Amino acid sequence: MSVPYTDIKSFLIDGEWVLPTQGYEPILNPATEEVIGEAPLAGRTEVEMVLAAARQAFDQGPWPGLPMAERIAAVKRLRAAILAREVRIKALLIAEVGAAQLLLNSAQFNGAIEAIDYAISLAEKLEPYGTPIELKPNPFDSAGGEILAAGMVVHEPYGVVVGITPYNYPFLLNVVKAVPALLTGNTVVIKPSQFTPFSGLLLGEMIVEAGLPHGVLSVINGGPEVGAMLTEDPRVDLVTFTGSDKVGQAILRQSAGTLKKVHLELGGKSALIVRQDADLLKAAATAAFSMSLHAGQGCALLTRYLVHNSIRPAFVETVKAVLGQFKLGNPADPSVVVGPLIRESARQKTEQFVQMGLDAGACLVAGGRRPAFLPRGFFHEPTLFDNVDNSSTLAQEEVFGPVGVVIGFDSDDEAIRLANDSKFGLSGAVMSADRATAYRMALKLRTGGVSINGGTGDFFVKAPFGGFKHSGIGRELGKDWLNEFLLEKSITYPIG
Instruction: Name the segment binding ligand NAD (CB under 6 A); options: 22-30, 55-63, 223-231, 331-339.
Output: 223-231
In this complex, which beta carbon is closest to ligand NAD, that of residue 242 or of residue 422? 242
Smallest distance from ligand NAD to CB 494, Å: 45
| Near ligand NAD by CB under 6 A: residue from 12, 247, 262, 477 | 247
Instruction: Name the segment binding ligand NAD (CB under 6 A); options: 63-71, 245-253, 272-280, 366-374.
Output: 245-253
Give start and end residues of each alpha helix (H) in 84-197: 86-92, 101-103, 110-125, 170-183
Residue numbers 368-387 binding ligand NAD by CB under 6 A:
none
Query: Does residue 174 bind ligand NAD (CB under 6 A)?
Result: no
In this complex, which beta carbon is closest to ligand NAD, that of residue 47 or of residue 416? 47
In this complex, which beta carbon is closest to ligand NAD, that of residue 64 or of residue 428? 428
The C-alpha atoms of residue 271 and residue 285 are separated, in whole angstroms, by: 15
| Near ligand NAD by CB under 6 A: residue from 166, 180, 200, 357 | 166
Query: Does residue 194 bind ligand NAD (CB under 6 A)?
Result: yes
Instruction: Name the segment binding ligand NAD (CB under 6 A); options: 159-167, 310-318, 386-394, 430-438.
Output: 159-167
In this complex, which beta carbon is closest to ligand NAD, that of residue 241 or of residue 315? 241
Going by C-alpha positions, the residue among 470, 474, 468 that lies closest to residue 449 is: 468
Smallest distance from ligand NAD to CB 374, Å: 22
Query: Does residue 399 bind ligand NAD (CB under 6 A)?
Result: no
Smallest distance from ligand NAD to CB 153, Å: 29
Buried b (16+ CB within 10 A) or exposed e, 390-416: bebebbbbbbbbbbbbbbbbeebeebb
- Select which of 25, 46, 96, 265 is catalytic: 265
The C-alpha atoms of residue 72 and residue 372 are separated, in whole angstroms, by: 51
| Near ligand NAD by CB under 6 A: residue from 75, 283, 299, 450 | 299
Cβ-contact 380, 295 below 8 angstroms: yes
Query: Does residue 168 bind ligand NAD (CB under 6 A)?
Result: yes
Instruction: Name the segment binding ligand NAD (CB under 6 A); options: 33-41, 88-96, 250-258, 329-337.
Output: 250-258
Neighbouring CB atoms inside 10 A of 63's CB total 23
Site string for ligand NAD, 261-280 (x = CB under 6 A): ----xxxx------------
By beta carbon distance, the residue nearest ligand NAD is 227
DSSP state of 237: -
Query: Given phi > 0 = left and psi -120 to 50 = alpha, else beta, which region is 19?
Result: beta
Instruction: Name the segment binding ligand NAD (CB under 6 A); options: 19-27, 69-77, 246-254, 453-461.
Output: 246-254
Smallest distance from ligand NAD to CB 426, Å: 6
The C-alpha atoms of residue 176 and residue 170 are separated, in whole angstroms, by: 10
Smallest distance from ligand NAD to CB 279, Å: 28
| Bridge partners (DSSP) listed for residue 487 | 156
Give start and end residues of each alpha helix (H) in 165-240: 170-183, 198-201, 203-210, 224-232
Cβ-contact 404, 287 below 8 angstroms: yes
265 labelled catalytic: yes
The C-alpha atoms of residue 49 and residue 271 are separated, in whole angstroms, by: 44
In this complex, which beta carbon is closest to ligand NAD, that of residue 192 or of residue 204? 192
| Bridge partners (DSSP) listed for residue 465 | 476
Cα radius of gyration rounded to whole Å, the chain: 24
Residue numbers 80-139 binding ligand NAD by CB under 6 A:
none
In this complex, which beta carbon is closest to ligand NAD, that of residue 6 or of residue 471? 471
The C-alpha atoms of residue 108 and residue 172 are separated, in whole angstroms, by: 6
Cβ-contact 383, 366 below 8 angstroms: yes
In this complex, which beta carbon is closest to ligand NAD, that of residue 74 or of residue 107? 107
Residues 6 or more apart from 345 whose CB is under 8 A from it? none
Residue numbers 318-357 binding ligand NAD by CB under 6 A:
none
CA quadruple 39, 11, 70, 107: dihedral, nearest 10: 10
In this complex, which beta carbon is closest to ligand NAD, that of residue 114 or of residue 412? 114
SS3 content of the chain, % helix, strand, coil (to 5): 40, 20, 40
CA quadruple 218, 81, 211, 477: dihedral, nearest 10: -60
The C-alpha atoms of residue 353 and residue 357 are separated, in whole angstroms, by: 6
The C-alpha atoms of residue 429 and residue 271 are separated, in whole angstroms, by: 6
| Near ligand NAD by CB under 6 A: residue from 215, 227, 296, 357 | 227
Q: 3-class DSSP state for residue 428? A: strand
Instruction: Name the segment binding ligand NAD (CB under 6 A); options: 26-34, 227-235, 307-315, 364-372.
Output: 227-235
Residues known to be catalytic: 265
Chain residues in the site for ligand NAD (CB under 6 A): 164-169, 191, 193-194, 223-224, 227-228, 231, 242-244, 247, 250-251, 254, 265-268, 299, 398, 400, 426, 472
